[in-house]
Amino acid sequence: MSAAVRYGDPAAVLAALNEVISLQLAHRSVRRFGTRDVTDDELAALVAAAQSAPTSANLQSWSVVAVRDHARKVRLAGLAANQAFVAQAPLFLVWVADLSRANRLAVRAGARVAATDYLETTLLGVIDAALAAQNAVVAAASLGLGTVFVGAVRNHPEEVAAELRLPPHAVAAFGLAVGAPDPAEAAGVKPRLPQAAVLHREWYDADAADAHIAAYDERLSAYNSRYGLPGNWSDRVLARLRGPASMAGRHRLRQTLARLGLPSR
């Protein structure tokens, strides 16, 4: 895959390119899956790749729940904004920011881990889970599997926790649907912002970066129109972040985390 496709810009070129980077440039979200299963061997490989990601202080403060049972996937789909592909995918991975393991360790050792009550440690768990999951996404692509992240598991985190029997001090950070892509799905490689909009050299130059947004809006609008989708990037950002009403219940997440044993103070 070329940089021109990744950015939707024929002038975009990468001089340093190899098989791994080409695989990453070709990434797209897959929301329709074929009938083939994800094998246990493939699942083991995905988790091994995930565990090879960096982890802060080697705390390894994440876990993942592999869901194959169709009825459970249907229930999780209902909790995750009724997104049908959650149930249709042969494998649904729920990545957990998991401070429960450290708390159980403390109980066994008769020690205290008061730092797990702070926002920094909650962030650490979420970041560790995200790094691990992205490693799994690249590994999945190398095996010919498609994926899509599902942030909507945070719409109803307490219900998801109950469905997965998560212990206290653990929360589902996001899901990941995994399976062989359906070649009939109408989707492509969605253009990203130009590098000049996100790459700052030595210091942050907002004016120079934002000067590239108008051109990107045109490219993404053209991409969207090919697949029957409305709008451009700027409109999408403003709509998604307009306020609590656009957050699908996630504006209550801090209080929910506290009830799940992650006060994040």
- Let me know if residue 240 belongs to a domain: no
Give the pLDDT confidence score for residue 1 in this predicted structure: 73
Whether residue 213 lies inside any domain: the answer is no
- Verdict on whether the full-model pTM lies above 0.85: yes
Residue 43 domain flag: yes
> Residue 177's closest CA among 250, 263, 86, 104?
86
Quote the pLDDT of residue 2: 87
Which of the 8 DSSP states describes residue 16? S
Check residue 186 and give its pLDDT: 87
Residue pair 21/104 in contact (Cβ under 8 Å)? The answer is no
Task: Give the distance, in angstroms, between the CA of residue 254 and the centroid of all CA atoms in the same chain.
Answer: 19
Host domain of residue 151: 29-187+254-259
pLDDT (tens, 9 = 90+) of the chain, 265 residues, equals 789 999 999 999 999 999 999 999 999 999 999 999 999 999 999 999 999 999 999 999 999 999 999 999 999 999 999 999 999 999 999 999 999 999 999 999 999 999 999 999 999 999 999 999 999 999 999 999 999 999 999 999 999 999 999 999 999 999 999 999 999 998 899 999 999 999 999 999 999 999 999 999 999 999 999 998 899 999 999 999 999 999 999 999 999 999 999 999 9
Return all residues near 75 (Cβ < 8 A) that are at least 6 apart: 163
Residue 207 lies in a domain: no
Tens digit of each residue's pLDDT (9 = 90 or more) over 53-100: 999 999 999 999 999 999 999 999 999 999 999 999 999 999 999 999
CA-based nearest residue to 61, from 120, 113, 124: 124
Residue 216 belongs to a domain: no
Residue 167: inside a domain, yes or no?
yes
Q: How many domains does the chain have?
A: 1
Residue 6 lies in a domain: no
pLDDT in tens, 123-139: 999 999 999 999 999 99
In terms of Cβ atoms closer than 10 Å to its own Cβ (0-12, 13-18, 19+), residue 21 is middle
In a domain, 124, yes or no: yes
Q: Where are the alpha helices (DSSP H) in 26-166?
A: 40-51, 70-79, 84-88, 100-109, 119-142, 157-164
pLDDT score of 25 = 96
pLDDT of residue 250: 96
CATH of the domain at 86: 3.40.109.10
